[in-house]
Amino acid sequence: MSLFTHDDGGEVLLASPPLIRYSALLGNTEATAILDRLDAELDWQRPSLRLYGREHPIPRQQVWMGDVGYRYSGRRFAPDPWHPCVLAIRDAVQRRLADSGVGTRFNSVLLNRYADGRDRMGWHSDDEPELGDSPLIAAVSLGNDRPLRFRWKDRHAPAFNVDQPHDSLLLMGAGVQARLEHSLPSRQRQGLRISLTFRWITPLATD
Amino acid sequence: MSLFTHDDGGEVLLASPPLIRYSALLGNTEATAILDRLDAELDWQRPSLRLYGREHPIPRQQVWMGDVGYRYSGRRFAPDPWHPCVLAIRDAVQRRLADSGVGTRFNSVLLNRYADGRDRMGWHSDDEPELGDSPLIAAVSLGNDRPLRFRWKDRHAPAFNVDQPHDSLLLMGAGVQARLEHSLPSRQRQGLRISLTFRWITPLATD
């Protein structure tokens, strides 16, 4: 699904709100090398919710990284420090977006590790207040191509899938979080996938 | 803090978005009797988040009640069945709101139990997609008067407190969740408080 392709290689999947996919962000060899390093070197966590006496571990692993603390279920946590490979990806993302006229910077990234096709993420929007009114989120995919599924909150149009090949970048622009939810459904397809979703978090007043 | 008082006793704390407080919802004697019964008879839960090898129990207890399942950290849970006292409160809320021109119904309620002044709730908005674009939320307070603190997401005006006396109802109208966050800070003041926040949850498509 693509409306048209820009000269810089960005495919406009939705014009309003903007959903744009870029391919070959790092080059295949470097992307694969970084996938292996992140898999081996990060301190992957699996948060777990206990409710009605049962543990409900999330069906994937995560690392928060960057300059700014984040909230999880109303709690504040400190991020992990930047890994050099993640900084390299962030710079590549910022350069690619600048080339296509989007001048932006990111101070935080949530990394998700999907060990195989059973790992997944449920329906949600990235709409925490500390992301601001119209967050711009850049999602880099490494490894197994798993489609991201989108649905409109007002259900005015059908849900749709977006393929996320190895070494691709999906830009979710202003309004995507306000008007759509997304999820990563489980799939038969096996193989490791790591995603990096870069965002700008405004440090909140302590009040 | 009050802009003006309606004939029906509703105090308009904010006009836009509407934040309106009503007193003497049930009558003091009945409200106190219901507080005691809810405290004793409900299956109070304390969900807990495990992250970085540590448990982070939420600093209060909860029960979800009503006709429709709900989501918690991306998981679906079944609600508890209606307790007769909660149904009686729901009917009183719907009558009071109808008397002031707000025709609405509620199919779900989140009850929170604050055992003492240390129990609290962090900053959040009630803005899950299944609540719709402009949710109307009715919060009934029983027991210890604990102020609810509001802050604007865009920080254009200072944060402010709203007192919540025993047997009062706070109506958060269209736009309150979109434009403000609220929290229940800890306080020296001791004593049990139970809140009931009624809402309408749209059963979501399974897609």
| pLDDT tens for each residue of B99-158 | 988 999 999 999 999 999 999 999 999 988 888 888 999 999 999 999 999 999 888 999
Whether residue B207 has pLDDT greater than 50: no
- Interchain contact, B207 vs A151, CB within 8 Å: yes
**pLDDT at site A207:** 46
Q: With respect to residue A54, please indicate whether it lies within any of the assigned structural domains.
A: no
- Interchain contact, A73 vs B49, CB within 8 Å: yes
| pLDDT tens for each residue of B25-56 | 999 999 999 999 999 999 999 999 888 888 88
Q: With respect to residue B184, please indicate whether it lies within any of the assigned structural domains.
A: yes
| pLDDT tens for each residue of A54-68 | 888 999 999 999 998
**pLDDT at site A46:** 93
**pLDDT at site A204:** 62
Q: Which residues of A touch B121 (CB under 8 A)?
A: 74
Confidence band of A88 (pLDDT split at 50, 70, 90)? very high
Nearest by CB: A49 against B47, B124, B153: B47
**pLDDT at site A203:** 74
Whether residue B5 has pLDDT greater than 60: no
Q: With respect to residue A204, please indicate whether it lies within any of the assigned structural domains.
A: no
Whether residue B94 has pLDDT greater than 70: yes
Q: With respect to residue A186, please indicate whether it lies within any of the assigned structural domains.
A: yes
Q: With respect to residue B50, please indicate whether it lies within any of the assigned structural domains.
A: no
Q: Is B120 on the interface with A (CB under 8 A)?
A: no
**pLDDT at site A108:** 96
What residues have CB less than 8 Å from B139, skipping those under 6 apart?
A: B148, B164, B169, B170, B171, B172, B195, B196, B197, B198
Whether residue A2 has pLDDT greater than 80: no
**pLDDT at site B70:** 83
**pLDDT at site A51:** 86
Q: With respect to residue A55, please indicate whether it lies within any of the assigned structural domains.
A: no
**pLDDT at site A76:** 79
- Interchain contact, A207 vs B159, CB within 8 Å: yes
Mean pLDDT of the residues in chain A: 91
**pLDDT at site B141:** 98
Spatial distance between the Cα atoms of A104 and A71, rounded to a whole number of angstroms: 23
Domain count, chain A: 1
- Interchain contact, B48 vs A50, CB within 8 Å: yes
Residue B145: other Cβ atoms inside 10 A: 14
- Interchain contact, A48 vs B47, CB within 8 Å: no
Nearest to B51 by CA among A98, A58, A33: A58
Residue B112: other Cβ atoms inside 10 A: 20
Q: With respect to residue A84, please indicate whether it lies within any of the assigned structural domains.
A: yes
Whether residue A5 has pLDDT greater than 80: no
CATH number of the domain bearing residue B33: 2.60.120.590
| pLDDT tens for each residue of B144-199 | 999 999 999 888 999 999 999 999 999 999 999 999 999 999 998 789 999 999 99
Residue to test with chain A: of B42, B46, B54, B73, most A Cβ within 10 A: B73
Residue to test with chain A: of B49, B77, B179, B180, most A Cβ within 10 A: B49
Q: Is B189 on the interface with A (CB under 8 A)?
A: no
Q: With respect to residue B119, please indicate whether it lies within any of the assigned structural domains.
A: yes
- Interchain contact, A51 vs B58, CB within 8 Å: no
Nearest to A60 by CA among A147, A125, A121: A121
Q: Which residues of B touch A185 (CB under 8 A)?
A: none
| pLDDT tens for each residue of A14-54 | 999 999 999 999 999 999 999 999 999 999 999 998 888 88
Range of the domain at B182: 4-43+58-199
Parallel, antiparallel, or unpaired for β A48-51 and A19-22? unpaired
Q: Average the pLDDT over A79-108 and give the result.
A: 95
- Interchain contact, A75 vs B122, CB within 8 Å: yes
**pLDDT at site A69:** 84
Residue A179: other Cβ atoms inside 10 A: 15
Residue to test with chain A: of B44, B45, B48, B51, most A Cβ within 10 A: B51
Q: What is the largest CA-CA distance in chain A?
A: 55
Whether residue B6 has pLDDT greater than 90: no
Q: What is the largest CA-CA distance in chain B?
A: 55
Whether residue B205 has pLDDT greater than 70: no
Whether residue B206 has pLDDT greater than 60: no
Q: Is B133 on the interface with A (CB under 8 A)?
A: yes
Nearest by CB: B51 against A47, A153, A207: A47
Whether residue A4 has pLDDT greater than 70: no
